[in-house]
Amino acid sequence: MRRLSLAFAAAVLLVLAWIAVPALSAAPFVPRAVDFEQALDLPAPAGAARKAAKPYVSPVIRAPKRFDLIGLKWRSPAPAGARIRVRDPDGRWSRWTAMGDQHGGGGGTEPVWAGGADAYQLRLKRVPRGPRAHFVNTTGTASAADRAKTAVRRAAHGVAVALAGAPARAQAAGATPAIVGRAAWGADQCPPRSDPGYGEVQMGFVHHTVSANSYSPEDSAAMVLAICRFHRNSNGWSDIGYNFLVDRYGRIFEGRAGGIEEPVIGAQTQGYNTVSTGIANIGTFSSVAQTAQAVHATAELLAWKLSLHAVPVSGPVTVSPAGRPVTFQRISGHRDANTTACPGDVLYGQLGEIRAQAAALAPQYRGGLTLQAADRTLRYPQAAQLRGRLNGANGAALGATAISLQLAGPSGFFTSRHSTTSADGAWSAVLPTSYSRTLRAVARRPDGSVVTSKQLRVGVAPRIAVRAPRRAGAGRRFTVSGSVGPRRARLTLELQRKSKGRLRTVARLRVKVRSGRYRVRLRLRRAALHRLRVVFKADARNSFGSSARVYVRVLRR
């Protein structure tokens, strides 16, 4: 009966697929991902960790469900020197794979791709305290019910694509390499916890993901989604750590959200995320070389990305994100910055080829003019700290060149500030502003050509001060007052009351402002703890702004 019902469901979906061909063919089918964990019953460590004369090998551990990716975490900061092998449903075992220490440092491992395994075995140099396994399944094979549903949906989608004709692989505009966007690998199932942060790109770090090397082209997107889910749900990061990922077939995947052209701050090289971009090669390259296709794709990506930010792809660069200057090659391996084996001995040895190919490819992307802001949302009266870099058409840095910083106005852009590039092509400027602005930078190169940066929006949030008494009598009036800058005509007072351990919004009151100051008289009748803040809702001139939250305890008379 169950087989008949599944067959009937498949037939219905196939008919729907015929009707909805354009919709289904527009986006790839991505099964629903699931995460789950398992507490590990390993020998109790002595002290911080148990270090044996020879590695501890666990018995075969059966997972709660089939899993595509597995990583470990524990309470102690010491590394475990973990290796793993996994068993597929047909009983075949993989080779032992080093799991690698977590990029964030201590307390866990990097995740390893397992591809539908149902059991695993661990080999540990140290047995850590409180170990747990975190699993991700992104192929829809976690349970029998999931496998049945996924088979039906994949079949329906496959028919729809066949009827419509497989869509051509999208190519980005201009010289941008072909990059598989977040939507194509299912990033809606791994939404960022917070808005992206932006820094600058002065160099690139090459990584590996410590995953299996024998995966098919169809596995790559699922692997990226699984890594994202692990980074977000197990490590507790905002998003996937890498800016980009490259599979063994030479396909490039967009990683952390925020825009492929933007200097998005990742979580890929501790201490240097604000000044670099991170490219992870999917696989383990401690004893195996990366493929020629992937080496070329990594080089092409770095040539484009570094040129986009007007920095050379070769030679040394000195960065000092924490105030201590450190010199790297423009294209470096993760191990050059942190204590790690990443990106593996063999891929690290291939960095010379990646650098050579990137240098050969860089001229096709040419140089340009960049514009970046240290903060994209300012709090009045904070000034915008702007910077950028200018390269010539051949990619070489241009020094002693005038830069015009322009603001968008009702009649177009007008020049507000001037700067001059230093010998390495870098420039900077400080822009005081009371209101949100759209900016661009313009320069005239020695050959007479005019180059313009991309436009950049910098928001300014009003600074709102608030004052209120800590206590007030029930039914008695009290005053809430404060100021706002720059001057705005109206604000909103948001009032919450604590009830049964939770704060619930009970009122939103419009507040008039005169000469940058406001004053409101309130009377609260119910004895309880209240929390209030004064906010400005964003408009064309300013971003959303909020005062600090203040508490008022209303007491019975």
Give pLDDT tens digits for 38-76.
999 888 655 444 555 688 999 999 999 999 999 999 987
Which CATH number do you get for residue 258? 3.40.80.10
Q: How far apart are the first and last CA of the chain?
A: 70
The predicted pLDDT at position 147 comes to: 62
State yes or no: pLDDT of 106 exceeds 70: no
Whether residue 301 sits in one domain with residue 189: yes
Measuring CA to CA, how many Å separate 496 from each of 81, 522, 533? 50, 13, 9
Give pLDDT tens digits for 348-357.
999 999 999 9
Burial class, 355, CB count within 10 angstroms (exposed 0-12 / middle 13-18 / buried 19+): buried
State yes or no: pLDDT of 25 exceeds 60: no
The token pair at 326 is 């450190």
User: Which residue has better confidence, 154 or 189?
Assistant: 189
DSSP string, 35-71: EEEEE---PPPSTT-EEEEEEEEPPPEEEEEEEEEEE
Whether residue 496 sits in one domain with residue 513: yes
**Most confident option among 235-249, 383-397, 439-453:** 235-249
Question: By percentage, how much of the chain surpasses pLDDT 70?
Answer: 86
What is the rounded distance in angstroms from the CA atom of residue 135 to the CA atom of residue 132?
10
Across 407-424, average pLDDT? 91
CB 268 within 8 Å of CB 323: no
Over the Cα atoms of the chain, what is R_g? 28
Across 328-351, average pLDDT? 94
Question: How many Cα atoms occupy the beta-carbon half-sphere of 323 within 13 Å?
Answer: 0
Whether residue 311 sits in one domain with residue 283: yes
The predicted pLDDT at position 43 comes to: 83
Whether residue 344 sits in one domain with residue 196: yes
Which CATH number do you get for residue 478? 2.60.40.10
What angle, rounded to 10 degrees, do the helices at 292-308 and 351-361 form? Answer: 50
CB 71 within 8 Å of CB 110: yes
Whether residue 400 sits in one domain with residue 329: no
Measuring CA to CA, how many Å separate 421 from each of 308, 350, 429? 17, 35, 11
Whether residue 342 sits in one domain with residue 260: yes
Domain endpoint, select from 440, 461, 482: 461
The predicted pLDDT at position 27 comes to: 54
Whether residue 357 sits in one domain with residue 252: yes
Count of beta carbons in the 10 Å neighbourhood of residue 226: 32
State yes or no: pLDDT of 486 exceeds 80: yes
Which CATH number do you get for residue 121? 2.60.120
Residue 198 binned pLDDT confidence (cut-offs 50, 70, 90): confident
Give pLDDT tens digits for 115-167.
899 999 999 998 988 899 999 999 888 776 666 565 555 554 443 433 333 33
The predicted pLDDT at position 445 comes to: 80
Domains: count for the chain? 4
The predicted pLDDT at position 46 comes to: 52
Range scoring the smallest mean pLDDT among 99-103, 448-452, 464-468: 99-103
Residue 228: inside a domain: yes
Residue 152: inside a domain: no
CB 352 within 8 Å of CB 346: no
Domain that holds residue 186: 179-365
What amino acid is encoded at 326 in this protein? V
What is the rounded distance in angstroms from the CA atom of residue 39 to the CA atom of residue 3?
35
Across 84-108, average pLDDT? 82
Whether residue 493 sits in one domain with residue 349: no
The predicted pLDDT at position 80 comes to: 87
Across 527-548, average pLDDT? 95
CB 452 within 8 Å of CB 370: no
Whether residue 355 sits in one domain with residue 380: no
What is the rounded distance in angstroms from the CA atom of residue 198 to the CA atom of residue 263?
5
**Most confident option among 1-10, 101-110, 298-307:** 298-307
The predicted pLDDT at position 28 comes to: 63
Query: Could you identify the residue written with the tokens 């047909």?
Result: 90
Whether residue 311 sits in one domain with residue 394: no
Residue 164: inside a domain: no
The predicted pLDDT at position 253 comes to: 97
